[in-house]
Each structure stands twice: as C-alpha cells, then as structure tokens.
C-alpha cells in the first residue's frame, strides 16, 4: 500500500489537525515562511518520495498568498518524488470569477485551476464550488463535495417550525432546492440585481413567506450584503423569523455585524475556512467529510462519521 502523506498548508492548520486525527495519520512538517522581499519560501521537512500526498490548503484570505503557497507545496512534493499529489481545497478562491463580465476581464477561476495543474497537482478535492459549471475548468480529476450530510442535521436539531427554505438569488436555487426537498419544506427565492462587484440589491420575494420561519441557504458570505438584503426583503414580506446558513464563511470585516443587524436570528456555517469563534455563529466541522473522502481515495478503512454526499467527476 502506498504511504499516505498529509501536508498542511498555512491557511487552516486547525482543520488539517482535525483531519489527521480522524485518519490517525501524522501531519508532514513543513516550513512556510517568507524572504525579506516577501517571496514565499517553502520546505517539506519529511520524506514524501513515492508517497500519496494530500495538501490541505483552502485559498481563502489572503487569496493570492494561499494559492501561491499551495502551488509551491505541490512543486516541492513533486520535486521530492511524490507518487501522486492531491490538493484538498475546501474553499476554492476565484470561483466567482469564472466568466467574463465585461470585455478585458480574465476568467480568473480557470487560470487558478491551470496554475495548480502546472504545479503538479493531479487531483483536486473541494467543497461546494460557487457554480457547478466551474467543474469543467479543471484539467484534472475533481472530487466535488457537498455539505448537505453535515448541515441538514444541524438544521433539524434547531427544530424550526413552519420552515421555508430561501435562496437569496436565482443562482443558488439548485442548492436551496436540495435542502427544501430533504427537509420537506416549501421553497422561496429572492430576486435581486447586482449593480457592482460585492454589491447586491434585493428586489422581491417569490414564494409564500408570510408568517413563516425562513432559512436563507447560500454557498458563502463575503460582505454579508446578499444575506442581509434577502433578510430585509423577507421580513418586509411578512416572514416571522429569518435564519441563515452558508457553506463558506469568507467574511470581510463587519460582514457578520451586517448580517446580524438585518435581524437574522441564527447563523450556521462550516469551518471550510479558518473562522474565529463567535457566540452568534454555529460552526459545523467538515473534518469528518474530508477525512472520509481521503480515506476512500487512499483506499483506507472508512472513517466512522455522519453521512456525506459526494459528487466525483
């Protein structure tokens, strides 16, 4: 059996440690520092020759540095003779820039995928890309995970009465539909416009929400504007309460304050990116999902944990 090597990046050491503990595998020690001029310096400080290497590194803030660190770790493993390199990127940055909005703009998501492929990464594991269409951007096998198996129990444990699942925009309708079906709840959508980057204006609510407890389901919160705007529209439409669930807490400063100021009662998210503990946020760990997936890929004994939903392409 090929040796398994878990290589942690610098973006989320807590998640890497949790995954390693579930797999009962040690983390490969790495040196990640910078030269005086700011260039990233990488060294893998253990033998990985002929090993099945898994590099765990979400490309969250600061996105450019995290992406470059991931690429350099892959290059270091390749140069050290790794048998295979898999990148475990729970949050894939640049995923929102997969189409050209205007002439002269790049398709940043596709470029980021090519950078990783050129660095020697042969397979990528990620969680809930911003759009499923982005799967075609990867010139390598892709394991695209969904967090439903972890998030649905968290919702059920809240025992929210008269529940309606809400998509904050048309783009997230498929995800919201999955949750509505699983919870046997009606579905609503907030129609909005986006006049600029990171700016969303809610217009109207499609679906009956009057007197209902509404749960907004989204893939991420960045500025918090989309969720806050949707919450305001729902309350104006007569919703009794509003709660929020999103997968990636890619939150800029004041994002959580903006969400809570919009009378959102509870916030549920995952630890796909490093997130500071906050009493207002229920944090659901994705470590069991990642560990279970890596055990399957490495053909190791299954990890006992909650059910998961995996899509592989």
- Catalytic site residues? 192
DSSP 27: B
- Residue 117: burial class (beta carbons within 10 Å; 0-12, 13-18, 19+): middle
The span from the CA of 15 to the CA of 157, in Å, is 24
The span from the CA of 244 to the CA of 218, in Å, is 8
The span from the CA of 107 to the CA of 28, in Å, is 34
Helices within 134-195 (DSSP H only):
148-158, 173-183
The span from the CA of 33 to the CA of 41, in Å, is 5
Residues 116/284, Cβ–Cβ less than 8 Å:
no
């Amino acid at each position: 059996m090929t040796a398994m090597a878990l290589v942690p990046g610098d973006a989320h050491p807590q998640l890497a440690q949790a995954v390693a503990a579930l797999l009962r595998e040690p983390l490969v020690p790495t040196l990640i520092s910078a030269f005086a001029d700011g260039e990233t310096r990488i060294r893998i400080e253990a033998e990985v020759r002929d090993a099945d290497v898994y590099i765990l590194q979400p490309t969250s803030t600061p996105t450019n540095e995290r992406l470059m660190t991931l690429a350099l770790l892959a290059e270091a493993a390749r140069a050290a003779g790794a048998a295979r390199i898999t990148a475990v990127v729970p949050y894939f940055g640049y995923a929102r820039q997969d189409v050209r909005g205007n002439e002269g703009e790049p398709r940043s998501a596709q470029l980021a995928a090519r950078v990783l492929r050129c660095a020697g990464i042969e397979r990528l594991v990620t969680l809930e890309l911003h759009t499923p269409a982005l799967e075609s951007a990867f010139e390598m096998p892709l394991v695209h995970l969904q967090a439903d198996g972890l998030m649905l129990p968290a919702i059920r444990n809240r025992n929210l009465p008269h529940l309606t699942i809400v998509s904050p925009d048309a783009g997230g309708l498929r995800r919201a539909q999955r949750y509505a079906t699983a919870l046997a709840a009606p579905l609503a959508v907030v129609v909005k416009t986006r006049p600029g980057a990171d700016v969303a204006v809610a217009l109207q609510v499609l679906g009956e929400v009057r007197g209902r407890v509404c749960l907004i389901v989204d893939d991420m919160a960045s500025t918090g504007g989309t969720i806050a705007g949707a919450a305001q529209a729902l309350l104006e439409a007569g919703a009794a309460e509003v709660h929020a669930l999103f997968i990636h807490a890619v939150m800029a400063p004041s994002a959580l304050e903006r969400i809570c100021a919009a009378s959102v009662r509870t916030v549920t998210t995952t630890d796909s990116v490093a997130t500071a503990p906050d009493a207002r946020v229920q944090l659901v760990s994705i470590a069991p999902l990642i560990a279970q997936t890596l055990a399957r890929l490495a053909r190791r004994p299954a990890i006992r944990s909650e059910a998961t939903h995996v899509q592989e392409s």
